[in-house]
Amino acid sequence: MVRGHHHLVDKLAVINGAVAGLALYPQIYVILFLGVADTLSPLTVWLILGNNIVWTLYGVHRSLVSVTLAGLLSFFAAAILLVI
């Protein structure tokens, strides 16, 4: 987030970054605790992983907390999904 910007939309962007970054975590729960792993394509997860590497780098480069947060959370979720 750009320093000095404290508008409502800036705060909403950070919250949205966290929520968007958590989108894959229910899938991790379904696989680990319910044992259902056949509903997710590995290609989809690889695409999400690659996409979030780019978004994370962009967020860091532009000092955008919301983009970086969403990218990192989604990256880690996608990485976990590839491992389990």
What does the pLDDT read at residue 5? 65
Split the chain (84 residues) into runs of 10 and give each run's mean pLDDT: 67 81 88 86 89 91 90 92 88
What is the dihedral sign for C-alpha 28, 30, 35, 40?
A: negative
What does the pLDDT read at residue 46? 92
What does the pLDDT read at residue 38? 82
Token pair, residue 74, equals 């989604």
What does the pLDDT read at residue 18? 81
Domain ranges in the chain? 8-83
Domain covering 8-83 in this structure, CATH number: 1.20.1280.290
Q: Which residues contact residue 57 at a Cβ distance below 8 angstroms, ignoring those fewer than 6 apart?
A: 71
What does the pLDDT read at residue 1? 43
Output DSSP code: residue 32: H
What does the pLDDT read at residue 61? 92
C-beta separation of 1 from 65 below 8 A = yes
C-beta separation of 66 from 11 below 8 A = no
Residue 39: what residue type? T
What is the dihedral sign for C-alpha 68, 71, 74, 80?
A: negative
